[in-house]
Amino acid sequence: MTVSLVIVSHSERLAHGVAELAGQMAQGEVTIAVAGGSADGSLGTSIDKVMDALQQANSPDGTLVLLDLGSAVMTTEMAIEALAPEQAERIKISSAPLVEGAVIAAVEASTGSNLDEVAQAAEGAVMVPKVRDKESE
């Protein structure tokens, strides 16, 4: 098994898009579950969707959760509290940027890295520049 990922977003389409991109980069070797949007499909978060995603991604090697905005953290924390302690202790919430963090985490997980290594790699995504500074060239 490998570390799995859960993508939590206020938008169902965004969650699926991030999971699709990360999954392609990891060449499908990592389980990536999504919890996007509220229960009625509008923008928001749903504790039931997060709990379902955490169950789908449940891995003995651990699960890293990547999220978009603040209330997604609260919803995810409530969902984790409702899980059995032995599952909850194998879940980490990441403060990494959603897209970059998910891609890097998926690739890192696909190499067999442990949960701490996957989480650390995702967190490092914040340091990856998107645009080169022309003044430093």
H helix runs in the chain, sequence order: 12-25, 47-56, 70-81, 85-88, 98-110, 115-123
- The closest alpha carbon to 101, from 117, 79, 113, 118, belongs to 118
% of the chain exceeding 90 in pLDDT: 85
Question: What is the tens place of the pLDDT at every residue in 102-135?
Answer: 999 999 999 999 999 999 999 999 887 778 777 7
| pLDDT of 136 higher than 70 | no
- The closest alpha carbon to 30, from 66, 1, 53, belongs to 1
- Stretch 67-73: mean pLDDT, rounded? 93
- The closest alpha carbon to 19, from 48, 44, 56, 51, belongs to 56
- Please name the amino acid found at residue 98: L
Q: What is the DSSP letter of 134?
A: G
Q: How confident is the model at residue 28 (pLDDT cuts 50, 70, 90)?
A: confident
What are residue 35's DSSP bridge partners?
A: 8
The domains found in the chain, sorted by start residue, are 4-127 (3.40.50.510)
